[in-house]
Structure 1
Amino acid sequence: MHMPFRTMILSLAGALALCASAPGWSQGNDLLARVKSNKEITIATEARYAPFEYVENGKIVGYDADLMQYVLKSLPDVKVKQLDLPFQGLLPGLDAKRFDIVVTAVTVNKDRASHFAFTVPVADATTGVLLRANETSIKSPDDLNGKVVGSQTGSAQLQALMSLDKKLKDAGGPGIKQIRQYVAFDEAYADLAVGRLDAVAQSVANLGPLMKARPGVFVVMPQTIGPKSYFAWVARKDADSAALAKLFSDGIARANRDGTMKKLQQKWFGTTMDVPADAVPEPTM
């Protein structure tokens, strides 16, 4: 049976309209659009990294938590489902789409930046060395030859420590006697305090508040190790996540420019840091 001419024209017009609208529908159905439609966002955090984030009275608090609340003003009707996970599971979980974005202090490095989309920086992540307050034999990175040093598994600080070990050996020294890896930095601090470690490699941003919280227990070696680096938040590096990553990055940049970031840094770190607001610096490590 032949289709009447008028019906055929209407059918063709409808099909063309559907085709024309398809690309727009695709772009409007990305992760950010689904978050707004579902009125919920799932965020992953490692809440054992004070003062960036930690649990107090059953609630996740800290610098990143406050900054996240500022950024989420752009999504006023969206409920936050926040997961507290070990650091080692954050990026694999993001890759597997178990959550929408990682809001925790993740150091930007070459390997991560090649696979994930980072926001603009939230803080300085340059690696420092924590010592016991009564330590007299360690005054510079060279003095870590023959010492037992700890850091967190999977962290950029561990990477900086391993690079230092290679540098010490290349210079003719014995290198670090042993590098011990920990699930969380709190375990490394405990071992350092009782003498099971000689030092801990950790970001300088974390060390000031730690020493303030535990006066007389620790000191920081004057020199840092490794290159200048930054902490940022992490999204998937795909078209689906691009708009959500931009929303978070723009919110962080806005906080940087309007003074909110400096106020939060003063609140949580007792000092302020200069971090770029326009882009993520190219990592050198």
Structure 2
Amino acid sequence: MQSKCNWVTKKVMGAVVIGAAISAAGLAQAKDWTTVTIALEGDYAPWNMTLPGGKMGGFEPELVTNLCARAQLKCNLVAQDWDGMIPGLQAGKFDVLMDAISITPDREKVIAFSKPYAATPATFAVTDTKIIAKTSPPLKLDNDARSSAPAVQALRTALKGKTIGIQSGTVYTRFINENFKDVASIRVYKTSQERDLDLSNGRIDASFDDVTYYAANADKKEAVPTVTAGPQIGGPIWGPGEGLAFRKQDADLKAKFDAAITAALADGTVKKLSEKWFKTDVTP
């Protein structure tokens, strides 16, 4: 939640995707959708995780099972590393991606998104609240780095000379680089678990990720306890929320899931599942 080679996808989207998109041009044939293959990373709890025996669990697998029933689709869930996720979608290996993928204009140039099924802020985590105060008013930021700079100045001051850990290719990577690279060292990790281990062992001073990720891991027994600190950062900077990803030509499949998401939001299913897995309501 993982080698996510570029901030443009949620985590991923590099030049290889463009080549894959071109080679997949022949896939733009209409389909009679009955069976759908959905790729999740299977390693980004509580959004999705691989359980003993290989079955998928978490917020997204439970939600998509509900969505597929509403859309009258047979859905097969498969685990896929980030490196191959977007190319696999474009090449026809999967039909849908679901992994807390933030909807952004850059990503929409390459893939299509459903309407959002969740919208979550992000924040820092530390082992020492002397670095960043534990409580702070929320920040709502837009996509303009210049207008956001004054709002994050206190964080820049607190993290000056420190080392910040971030998972590679996430929607948050660009934010950290644009706002902190000139005052702090940025260490990039393949997985959030590797980053968390370095934070707990004191090899980095702070990490940055989705608040739902930190909430789900708050009770885990670490070598050194970590706590969220500083403001929860939300707003247009992260886009409208998280959505399912499709090939652009599969508008009919997208429409089926859009209708299912609309219904699941309206009857409280998304709220119920988010409170179960995140202990908070993440409905957009």
TM-score bracket relative to the smaller structure: 0.7 to 0.9
Q: Counterpart in 2 of 1:199?
A: 206
The 1:95/1:256 distance shift into structure 2, 3 A limit, reads same
- Normalized per residue, the structure richer in helix is 1
The percent of aligned pairs where both chains have the same amino acid is: 28
Distance (Å, rounded) in 1 between the aligned partners of 2:203 and 2:82 = 23
Distance (Å, rounded) in 2 between the aligned partners of 1:269 and 1:116 = 27
The structure with more radius of gyration = 1
**Is the aligned partner of 1:218 residue 2:226?**
yes
Post-superposition shift, 1:213? 3.4
Post-superposition shift, 1:256? 0.8
Post-superposition shift, 1:154? 1.2
Q: Counterpart in 1 of 2:137?
A: none
Distance (Å, rounded) in 1 between the aligned partners of 2:268 and 2:67 = 14
The 1:53/1:188 distance shift into structure 2, 3 A limit, reads same
The residue identity in structure 2 corresponding to 1:148 is T
The residue identity in structure 2 corresponding to 1:141 is L
SS in 2 for 1:54: strand
TM normalised by structure 1 equals 0.74
Q: Counterpart in 2 of 1:149?
A: 164
Post-superposition shift, 1:92? 2.6
The residue identity in structure 2 corresponding to 1:63 is F
- Asked whether the 8 Å contact 2:117–2:283 carries over to 1, the reply is no
The residue identity in structure 1 corresponding to 2:227 is V
The answer to which of 192-201 and 225-234 deviates more is: 225-234
Q: Counterpart in 1 of 2:274?
A: 265
Q: Counterpart in 1 of 2:189?
A: 182
Counterparts of 1:1-285 in structure 2, within 5 Å, are 30-31=30-31, 33=32, 35-36=33-34, 40-57=35-52, 58-76=54-72, 78=74, 80-132=75-127, 134-139=128-133, 141-142=155-156, 143-165=158-180, 169=182, 175-177=183-185, 179-214=186-221, 217-225=225-233, 227-228=235-236, 229=238, 230-238=241-249, 241-275=250-284
SS in 2 for 1:82: strand
Distance (Å, rounded) in 2 between the aligned partners of 1:263 and 1:176 = 39
SS in 1 for 2:124: strand
> Structure 2, unaligned stretches of length 5 or more?
1-28, 134-153
The residue identity in structure 2 corresponding to 1:118 is F
* Superposition RMSD in Å: 2.0
The 1:211/1:231 distance shift into structure 2, 3 A limit, reads same
The 1:220/1:256 distance shift into structure 2, 3 A limit, reads same
Post-superposition shift, 1:97? 2.4
The answer to which of 118-127 and 195-204 deviates more is: 118-127
Distance (Å, rounded) in 2 between the aligned partners of 1:135 and 1:265 = 28
TM normalised by structure 2 equals 0.75
Post-superposition shift, 1:75? 4.7
Distance (Å, rounded) in 2 between the aligned partners of 1:125 and 1:96 = 30
Distance (Å, rounded) in 2 between the aligned partners of 1:110 and 1:76 = 30
Question: How many matched pairs?
Answer: 230
Distance (Å, rounded) in 2 between the aligned partners of 1:96 and 1:145 = 44
Distance (Å, rounded) in 2 between the aligned partners of 1:162 and 1:156 = 11
The residue identity in structure 1 corresponding to 2:55 is K
Post-superposition shift, 1:226? 6.5
Q: Deviations over 1:192-251 (max 9, x none)?
A: 11111111110112111111334871111131347443221111112xx00111111221
Q: Deviations over 1:239-282 (max 9, x none)?
A: xx00111111221121111100110011101111240xxxxxxx
Distance (Å, rounded) in 1 between the aligned partners of 2:120 and 2:281 = 13
The residue identity in structure 2 corresponding to 1:150 is G
- Asked whether the 8 Å contact 1:149–1:198 carries over to 2, the reply is yes
